[in-house]
Structure 1
């Protein structure tokens, strides 16, 4: 018969042994509950799934701070709540532009003919060549090698949110280069 251990015992064992199977046990017990909590806060299944992963990355790195003054589930859901509130705050500060206003902004531009795949590929390569080597490698690994953000973050020894920010900055830089080459 399978022996069932308390969450607190599993956490203590993980902190002392760093056995990934113990963390997997915690993840398996709480992944769906954390996702459901995120969904209640964020109202977007895709965002809730992303944030569930972010939360478990935090749990993994902060599990040693769990002091067992309350149940593990309480600690986890407090962390989940504060994380989701932080995400909501960040989302509120983002500015969104309606598609109608984009159409108005671009109506002054002369519409270019549809580019062939080869032409688009050439333009992408030319843009990438103007980026820093680090940004080139990052974008190529993400989009050409199809590596997910969590894997890239793990390989770079940074958090998933830090990796998302690096990708965003690299894409923004590429857009700026592309925009300047189109207007010139």
Structure 2
């Protein structure tokens, strides 16, 4: 039998041990592996240490309760990040911090897209990201910081490919517009 003090299992094997064999003690491996990652993602979206700590605990409890629903159609981490994203956005919506209206991107000059986000100064970009609505910030963090592929983002957001591309494009345009408004004077 493999040592149970050190994790030698994949995430998916751990889920099978927990769900199929009723070995709930194996959840501690998933918990330890993802606790800090979940916390950092919550903090990036909510911008609150206290809220992020609370959401992290709530999310990991919810993940444990929902393990039976994990169908392995994506990686465990993608499934987990989907829960993280939705819980954070739902929390912010409950505070009415997120507008349900889409920004009118027609007012944005399309030439602004010629600049790549990677070309912007990091310190300034961080400031601009903090001015964005949480949904836009989250999608850009998934794409550019986490390096998620379009399919992963699409799966996490439960959107079509074209809708996902449009949301990324709109969020990127908002960043570039804010950046130009703040720093090109």
Name which one, 1 or 2, has greater alpha-carbon Rg. 1
TM-score scaled by structure 2? Answer: 0.48
